[in-house]
Structure 1
Amino acid sequence: MDTTGLKERAEAWRQADPDPSTAAELAALLAKADWAELEDRFSQDLEFGTAGLRGVLGAGPNRMNRAVIRRTTAGLARYLKEQVPDVATRGVVVGRDARNLSAELAEDTAAVLAAEGIPAHVFPEPVPTPLVAFAALHLNAAAAVMVTASHNPPEYNGYKVYWGNGAQIIPPHDTGIASAIARVEPANRVPLLTPADARAKGLWRDLPAAIGDAYVRAILGLRVVGKGSESLSIVYTAMHGVGGDWAVRALREAGFPRVTPVAEQQQPDGRFPTVRFPNPEEPGAMDLATATAERVKADVVLANDPDADRLAVMARDADGSLRLLTGNEVGVLLGHYVLTQGAKQGKPHVVTTIVSSAQLGDIARSLGAACDEVLTGFKWIANRALEREQAEGTRFVFGYEEALGYTVGTVTRDKDGVGSALVMADLAAWCQARGTTVLGYLEEIQRAHGLYVGAQRNFTFPGAAGAQVIRGIMDAFRASPPKDIGGDAVRAVSDYKKGERGLPPSNVVALELESGGRVTLRPSGTEPKIKYYFELKETLADGEPLAQARARAESRLARFIDAFLGLARERGQPA
């Protein structure tokens, strides 16, 4: 876009921006003639993709702001009126986390829905994402919106959309909503009602505390053994998010009195003052939780991300040291626990993703359970579970993705960090009663089903230029896949953009090795990153110490990763 066209588009957006602060932000950029920044904000619209929107806060169509959300909500409302005949009766649930601008974006969402004649069922305070997903089902709403950027840094926010089945939207609804948004008038012409007018018309309905009480009762019912433990010591961190009160309440009602919150991170704070990146997977994010756990001599550490839909777990190893489990390890533990110790009626069904470990699928098949691998994202897990329930009568018991997302049962049709924390505590208490530990139980599983080791490497390339780098890497691996990686022959290449294995087309490439290892490449759906997922399987010899087998496997994995990254650099990845 030339500077004249860029200036015209930016000025038109500024004039239509209903938020004085972002309008002033654009005016300042125009006054400085900051064409590079304006190009980044106006070269494209923020993509309505992974169940909705997510982006950096700021002015312009390629940022998260009130103008974008008003237009997005108008498009969503009009699409719902086309697709859901009784939407004006059922309404839409609206929730938010405690991030910067979340309150304003949620209010705009409800106000636009109300102006479109759709009742907004509004959580008046910040709530966990899984509570919004639960409320969509509990209230039989036509859809739900959660204003959140999950575990992204403080400068981000987002807008997640659920359909009436309680799951995040998938095609054709995502593309249908995006098309409807594209037809919406400028933001300052989008109709909206004030909260007072909407309440007076019965189109803004504040949700009562009873909804949260029903959610807690429902997740308490997910416990497998359900006996609690007077002696199990648990440290919990909310990571400055909205899960704190909910998780501590649920754990204590479940019979775990020895729960110690990380005080510095327990209350919601959108600045995330003790962590730069409020994701439990990031280096340093668990430091305060670890220090608290050492102080109180905790057995287990449970951590939610800021909107409480993810769960991280730390447990003590054989020498008493705390170790952060990987997402795959937690997924295998919870899945095996539910499959082997849970209810036995019907054919159980578990779902993982193509970038998660293959181990749970192997375990499920050995136990006679149904198992599916789907595309990355919990929307695919939940919708596949619904498909098989309806078509085959299977009983969905567990789903997970390696990025710390898990759900047990059908209380929510999305990942649930609070419910999963409760089941993990239940698992830890069961292990304790058996005279073992969480990591002791994991070793039992690995000895029976193999030691799977994996790793992930992420590379961030921000802005429009970064998006071009990521596209180039993906295109290069498609055009010229390697014949081997570090001397290990590539036996199969799966390009999921072509709809491999009956899955919807997706920008993912997987390379499978003769040795049984695999590497999967994909751009992130929520951040300017390219992600590489690696996995190898090692078989333990009879009586072999687990540490010895793990060292051997990790050494193999390190060589595998180094060899692959060399190939990535040959295909355009900056050094």
Structure 2
Amino acid sequence: MSDLRSAAEAWLAQDPDPGTRAELRDVLDAGDERALADRFGSRLEFGTAGLRGEMGAGPNRMNRVTVMRAAAGLAATLPAGSHVIVGFDARHGSERFAGDTAAVLAGAGHTVEVFAEPVPTPVLAHAVRTSRAAAGVMVTASHNPPRDNGYKVYWRDGAQIVPPRDAEISAAIDAVGRVDELPLGTSWEVRADLTPYLDAVAGLRLGDARDVSIVYTPMHGVGSDVLHAAFASAGFPAPVVVPEQADPDPDFPTVAFPNPEEPGALDLALALAAERNADLVIANDPDADRCAVAVPTPSGWRPLTGDEVGGLLAEHVLRHTSGDDRLVVTTIVSSSLLGKIARAHGVRFAESLTGFKWIMKAGTRADRLVFGYEEALGYSVGDDRGVPVGDKDGVSAALAVAALAAEARRDGRTLLDLLDDQARRYGLHATAQVSVRVQDVSRIAAAMARLRTDTPAELGGRAVESFDDLAAPSNGLPPTDGVRFHLSGGARVVIRPSGTEPKLKCYLEVVMPTADDRARAEVALAALREDVSALIS
């Protein structure tokens, strides 16, 4: 324990934040060994999406020292005099972390721009790509709980970094000394113009129907102003915003988790939509890179799954684009439907590892990416000019969903009708998830090891026909920590640790012949869910 106390004292000596200094001094004075070990026994790992974790003192927390070290590591890997753009959301500490990042980068001799106000993550990603910046930093924890913050790094293509870039930056972070000895810049450019982003997403050529009524929630995040400006520029009626969730609030007071996938997160939006008799509910997560959709049914409002929205948007994009060089991409945990859609439309299809950093790297130089999606409500929507943003974008996805719904409404149809059309053409692809959140992250590694050594013969009453250990490279994909079970009847289960939260995530899919098989599909998914839950518990 003396080593941990020494590390804590060294941290105190360099920490510029009086809040975290006071927190750590209280821990030391109380002799709280568990709290000390939690903060100093490990550190936040700089992964392929950067950093993300709970706010507080120590290397295993998000704080000013952690952020300054990350900025210094990034600065050391860039060519001299590089241009870097920094954005931030409205979470606790985000603006301060953005300022610290700018000071460290400027002190290292780089040219820095910082957005004047909190912005959605896709705005930063677009700015990096179109400004020909060497890199970008977005301070956000996306949809994580209020106590968390994070640090995403983008490269010159406007996409999140992938290996080996992350390892290079991580090694450079390890070489950083005391942050109070870093040279700090005192000035940088302020970026305020959002017009390039708005022009790019509002100008997507995906049909001209506009008559649709929408209830929208930004989930206490930063998406509302940008989404409203994009809708106005594209000629859509202004969505009705859920008033209790309209303004940025880092405490996210109306939701247990600010993630539109979580049960209850859409309740206020669904109630308002029923009251207004709206055609559609659209929700962004707090940094507006994800988009959730819900539709009215005879028995009430129903959120669509990410796979359902992905399939609908894919065909919408392909109907409004042309060329056999078009590429559509999804991940190994998303529905297998997109591959069938691609074949039917005569376009190219690719699978990637989970995460948009991999989606944006899929295909070849000869491919023109027009659409990419992951089941976790992430979509990159393009037109004949390709995709405007090198990451998932909840604002342009909302525009595309609105255009799709307006087009269906003009034809006297609904999104549910379009889902039935797809089921008749390709078979009904029903998907679901099982997630287990843990306090002790060692449980995740233990569960993955058990799955690899004790493979089940049957899941949900279906025989396991084959098993893939995704830690071994296969089908041109890099290795990743995950396993995949191919089951009889075209069903599939994929299990992997979450890349952003202490969760084990399981992705279930069953395929039925027709649209009339939805009840049977739900029964089959329930059987899979029961067996998989027992398997990972």
Fold shared per TM-score above 0.5: yes
Partner in structure 1 of residue 24 of structure 2: 26
Alpha-carbon offset, residue 486 of structure 1 = 4.0
- 1:302 corresponds to which of 282, 291, 310: 282
- 1:205 corresponds to which of 189, 199, 220: 189
Counterparts of 1:566 and 1:68, CA distance in 2: 38
Q: Tell me which amino acid in the other structure corresponds to 1:467.
A: V
- 2:355 corresponds to which of 353, 377, 395: 377
Counterparts of 1:191 and 1:346, CA distance in 2: 52
Alpha-carbon offset, residue 321 of structure 1 = 2.7
Partner in structure 1 of residue 346 of structure 2: 368
Partner in structure 1 of residue 326 of structure 2: 348
Q: Do structure 1's residue 407 and structure 2's residue 387 form an aligned pair?
A: no
Alpha-carbon offset, residue 565 of structure 1 = 2.4
Q: Tell me which amino acid in the other structure corresponds to 1:429.
A: A
| Conserved? CA contact 1:336–1:360, under 8 Å | no
Counterparts of 2:460 and 2:197, CA distance in 1: 50
Counterparts of 1:152 and 1:251, CA distance in 2: 27
Partner in structure 2 of residue 178 of structure 1: 170
Q: Do structure 1's residue 225 and structure 2's residue 207 form an aligned pair?
A: yes
Structure 2, unmatched stretches of 5+, are none
Q: Tell me which amino acid in the other structure corresponds to 2:407.
A: W
Alpha-carbon offset, residue 500 of structure 1 = 2.3
Partner in structure 2 of residue 431 of structure 1: 408
What is the root-mean-square deviation of aligned Cα atoms in Å? 1.3
Q: Tell me which amino acid in the other structure corresponds to 2:371.
A: F
Counterparts of 2:522 and 2:251, CA distance in 1: 37
| SS in structure 2 at match of 1:498 | coil
Partner in structure 2 of residue 254 of structure 1: 234
Q: Tell me which amino acid in the other structure corresponds to 1:228.
A: R
Counterparts of 1:296 and 1:486, CA distance in 2: 41
Counterparts of 1:119 and 1:26, CA distance in 2: 34
Alpha-carbon offset, residue 208 of structure 1 = 3.2
| SS in structure 2 at match of 1:527 | coil
Higher mean Cα deviation, 478-487 or 301-310? Answer: 478-487
Counterparts of 2:488 and 2:520, CA distance in 1: 18
| Conserved? CA contact 2:485–2:494, under 8 Å | yes
Deviation per CA, 1:228-273: give whole Å up to 9, x if none. Answer: 22xx211111111110011122112222225211122111111112
Q: Tell me which amino acid in the other structure corresponds to 1:252.
A: A
Residues 329 and 69 (structure 1), Cα distance of their counterparts in 2 relative to 1, 3 Å cut: same
Q: Do structure 1's residue 443 and structure 2's residue 443 form an aligned pair?
A: no
| SS in structure 1 at match of 2:360 | helix
| Conserved? CA contact 1:73–1:109, under 8 Å | yes
| Conserved? CA contact 2:379–2:397, under 8 Å | yes
Alpha-carbon offset, residue 216 of structure 1 = 0.9
Counterparts of 2:533 and 2:128, CA distance in 1: 43
Deviation per CA, 1:109-157: give whole Å up to 9, x if none. Answer: 0010100010111101000100000000121100000000000111000
Counterparts of 1:325 and 1:487, CA distance in 2: 26
Alpha-carbon offset, residue 381 of structure 1 = 0.3
Q: Do structure 1's residue 395 and structure 2's residue 368 form an aligned pair?
A: yes
Structure 1, unmatched stretches of 5+, are 82-86, 199-203, 541-545
| SS in structure 2 at match of 1:157 | strand
Q: Tell me which amino acid in the other structure corresponds to 2:266.
A: M
Deviation per CA, 1:415-461: give whole Å up to 9, x if none. Answer: 00001100110101110111101111111111111111111111111
Q: Tell me which amino acid in the other structure corresponds to 1:156.
A: D
Q: Tell me which amino acid in the other structure corresponds to 2:223.
A: G
Q: Tell me which amino acid in the other structure corresponds to 1:518.
A: R
| SS in structure 1 at match of 2:471 | helix
**TM-score, reference length from structure 2:** 0.97
Q: Tell me which amino acid in the other structure corresponds to 1:190.
A: L
Counterparts of 1:116 and 1:346, CA distance in 2: 46
Q: Tell me which amino acid in the other structure corresponds to 2:176.
A: V
| Conserved? CA contact 1:50–1:526, under 8 Å | no
Partner in structure 1 of residue 220 of structure 2: 240
Q: Do structure 1's residue 555 and structure 2's residue 514 form an aligned pair?
A: no
Q: Tell me which amino acid in the other structure corresponds to 1:280.
A: P
Q: Tell me which amino acid in the other structure corresponds to 1:246.
A: V
Higher helix fraction (1 or 2): 1
Q: Tell me which amino acid in the other structure corresponds to 2:253.
A: P
Alpha-carbon offset, residue 223 of structure 1 = 3.7
Counterparts of 1:101 and 1:258, CA distance in 2: 31
Matched-pair identity in %: 50
Q: Tell me which amino acid in the other structure corresponds to 1:555.
A: V
Q: Tell me which amino acid in the other structure corresponds to 1:564.
A: V
Counterparts of 2:128 and 2:219, CA distance in 1: 25
| Conserved? CA contact 1:129–1:309, under 8 Å | yes
Deviation per CA, 1:51-85: give whole Å up to 9, x if none. Answer: 1000000000010000000011000000113xxxx
Alpha-carbon offset, residue 320 of structure 1 = 6.7
Counterparts of 1:515 and 1:227, CA distance in 2: 39
